[in-house]
Amino acid sequence: MTQPQHTGGRVNVLTKPAVIGSIEELRSRLTDAQSRIESARAGRGEAGLGRPRIVLVPTMGALHAGHLTLVRRARSLGDIVVVSIFVNPLQFGVGEDLGSYPRMLEADVAALAAEGVPFVFAPTSQLMYPDGAASTRVVAGAVGSLFEGAARPGHFDGMLTVVAKLFNIVGPDVAVFGQKDAQQVFLVERMLADLNFRTCIEVVPIVREDGGLALSSRNRALEPAQRAAARALSAGLEAAASVAAQGVGAALQAAHARIDVQPLVKLDYLVVVDPRTFLPVGGEHHGPARMLVAALVGHTRLIDNVALDLP
């Protein structure tokens, strides 16, 4: 494994990131990297910049350009980037795609090497859940059982639990999340505030392929006709945003008009929420809002969202 190289204030690698599957090793490598950056800074007379900042990008792997956008943002936010790759069993329900979720660690590591990521934390389930599952869990609260949480009971408790564990393992100053998972972002922000975490989060806009479909590791499962049909989701959201000035009803109608005509797209929910509460808004809502959509295309569950400005 290539050792991280320290140039300037940032840790770079010549070839491959260190792929680490042990908590102790990760912590000691991070402490070591921080000390080396501090010494390098002191050598350049740059002491006083504070402890080098660790930035975490939590992922489930099968990385695509959306994830890599998060990684690039992470690099701009701190000194040492850690990407975690862990398909968290706790956030998958019975009958969901835990077994078939794409796993491609080697290709992921190659993609992260090209981005100059020094550390990949890729724990096993055994390491994260030595007793088979965590008996202490974070409870997502009322918003955790709406929308994605209604379709996937326990999903957000499992997601928050692993995020809390990763934050305690890595100790990041900042963690980077994607706006694509808007409910996840809302719930993580709430957990950080409610439980007084020191980590803050940065949110990156949704990265889309040509044609508008939001990038997702699950898109790999789409056949060409399904992929074409799935574009109705982003097209619907775009249509909604373009008529948002006419109100919530018009926005919903515009989105339905694009989505409901696609027989391959089985709509689960299409809602407009208040970003402050993540609760559905009434027809008279004014100000910022977010439209959320989820649908099944074949066996693949897809989600997307867009900001609406309701005057």
Q: Give catalytic status of residue 67 as yes or no.
A: yes
Q: Shortest gap between Cβ of 191 and ligand AMP (angstroms)?
A: 14
- CA dist., res. 129 & res. 162, Å (int): 10
Is residue 178 part of the contact set for ligand AMP (CB under 6 A)?
yes
String of contacts with ligand AMP for each residue 86-115, x by CB under 6 A:
------------------------------
Q: Shortest gap between Cβ of 69 and ligand AMP (angstroms)?
A: 6
Q: Which residue is nearest to ligand AMP (CB)?
A: 178
- CA dist., res. 189 & res. 246, Å (int): 31
Question: Considering only residues 33, 70, 83, 303, which one is a binding residue for ligand AMP as defined by CB under 6 A?
Answer: 70
- CA dist., res. 164 & res. 2, Å (int): 29
H-type helices in the chain, by residue range?
Answer: 23-43, 65-77, 105-114, 125-128, 148-151, 155-170, 182-194, 224-242, 248-259
Question: Considering only residues 180, 227, 290, 301, which one is a binding residue for ligand AMP as defined by CB under 6 A?
Answer: 180
Question: Do the Cβ atoms of 118 and 18 come closer than 8 Å?
Answer: yes
- Residue list 20-59, contact with ligand AMP (CB under 6 A): 59
Q: Which of 120, 204 has the CB closer to ligand AMP?
A: 204
**Which one of the listed residues 6, 67, 285, 299 is annotated catalytic?**
67
Is residue 273 part of the contact set for ligand AMP (CB under 6 A)?
no
Q: Shortest gap between Cβ of 272 and ligand AMP (angstroms)?
A: 20
String of contacts with ligand AMP for each residue 204-233, x by CB under 6 A:
x-xx------xxxx----------------
- CA dist., res. 84 & res. 122, Å (int): 6
Pairing status of strand 119-121 against strand 18-20: parallel
Question: Considering only residues 6, 29, 41, 67, which one is a binding residue for ligand AMP as defined by CB under 6 A?
Answer: 67
- Residues 6 or more apart whose CB falls under 8 angstroms from that of 23 comprise 123, 127, 169
Count helices and strands in the chain by DSSP H and E runs? 9, 11
- CA dist., res. 100 & res. 271, Å (int): 29
Q: Shortest gap between Cβ of 193 and ligand AMP (angstroms)?
A: 18
Contact residues for ligand AMP, defined by CB under 6 A: 59-60, 66-67, 70, 177-178, 180-181, 204, 206-207, 214-217
Residues carrying an active site annotation? 67
